């Protein structure tokens, strides 16, 4: 896989969006299992569950609807912060990763040190879920605005569609390449389509592995396992900050 570039054109290793995708899947598993069916990364699922609970009269609908609202609010705030950072000539990526890390820390602190969760209508659990949803909203925007050409790391429905399109495009490009005598233009086209396919594939796999790892960690370690997501995002924020400081050094 190739590298992706941030808003300041500094190369970002392709492992970064894959790790963020892993975190999104991991957190989604944790919120689903610990917070009684709440999805904070795949917000489409929360729409479906909220609609179903309107019919079943399940009071857990409050947390799911609030999570959708806070996801949108966090996305809007993150977009605004990215714009402010750009206006001031600062690198936005370290700041946005620190924002996501802070939101995840709040989520983990609430579920670890707060009272035991008793159900989907437990307001303590709902508040914890709101911080997780805000973290995923922030991640969605930082990937969209700061990693151009990279698919979303926490919404897999569109990625699966893109994967199918890329597979077909790759087959068609291979056919053109075979019949054209391997011209330079066709070789470039084939390489670019293959790169796009691998990017989507690895991000989707990152989310899948993260979701499985999150479920396993919850089964084995309970709520403490959520700390892994915090550790990964904190490490990414520190890496981005160190890279930015290194770039500014003479």
Cα–Cα dist 6/143, whole Å:
9
- DSSP code for 115: P
User: How confident is the prediction along the chain (250 residues), in pLDDT tens digits per residue?
Assistant: 555 544 455 668 989 999 999 999 999 999 999 998 888 887 766 666 666 666 655 556 777 788 888 999 999 999 999 999 999 988 999 999 999 999 999 999 999 998 888 887 788 899 999 999 999 999 999 999 999 889 999 888 889 999 999 999 999 989 888 887 778 888 888 899 999 999 999 999 999 999 999 999 999 999 999 999 999 999 999 999 999 887 776 6
Look at residues 152, 142, 125 and name the one whose alpha carbon lies nearest to residue 80: 142
Cα–Cα dist 215/217, whole Å:
6
pTM: 0.89
Look at residues 104, 136, 140, 91 and name the one whose alpha carbon lies nearest to residue 242: 91
């Amino acid at each position: 896989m190739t590298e992706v570039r941030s808003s300041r054109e500094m190369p970002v290793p392709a492992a970064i969006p894959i790790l963020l995708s892993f975190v999104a899947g991991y957190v989604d598993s944790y919120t689903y299992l610990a917070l009684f069916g709440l999805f904070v990364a795949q917000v489409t699922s929360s729409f479906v569950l909220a609609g179903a609970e309107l019919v079943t009269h399940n009071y857990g609908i409050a947390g799911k609807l609030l999570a959708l609202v806070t996801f949108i609010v966090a996305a809007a705030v993150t977009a605004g912060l990215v714009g402010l950072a750009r206006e001031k000539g600062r690198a936005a990526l370290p700041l946005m990763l620190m924002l996501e890390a802070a939101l995840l820390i709040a989520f983990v602190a609430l579920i670890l040190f707060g009272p035991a969760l008793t159900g989907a209508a437990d307001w303590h659990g709902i508040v914890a879920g709101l911080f997780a949803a805000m973290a995923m909203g922030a991640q969605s925007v930082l990937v969209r605005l700061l990693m151009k050409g990279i698919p979303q790391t926490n919404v897999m429905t569109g990625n699966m569609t893109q994967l199918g399109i890329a597979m077909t495009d790759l087959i068609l490009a291979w056919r053109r390449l075979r019949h054209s005598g391997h011209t330079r233009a066709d070789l470039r086209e084939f390489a670019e389509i293959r790169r796009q396919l691998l990017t989507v594939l690895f991000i989707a796999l990152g989310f899948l592995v993260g979701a499985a790892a999150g479920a396993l960690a919850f089964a084995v370690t309970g709520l403490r396992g959520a700390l892994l997501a915090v550790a990964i995002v904190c490490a990414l924020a520190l890496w981005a900050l160190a890279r930015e400081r290194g770039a500014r050094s003479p």
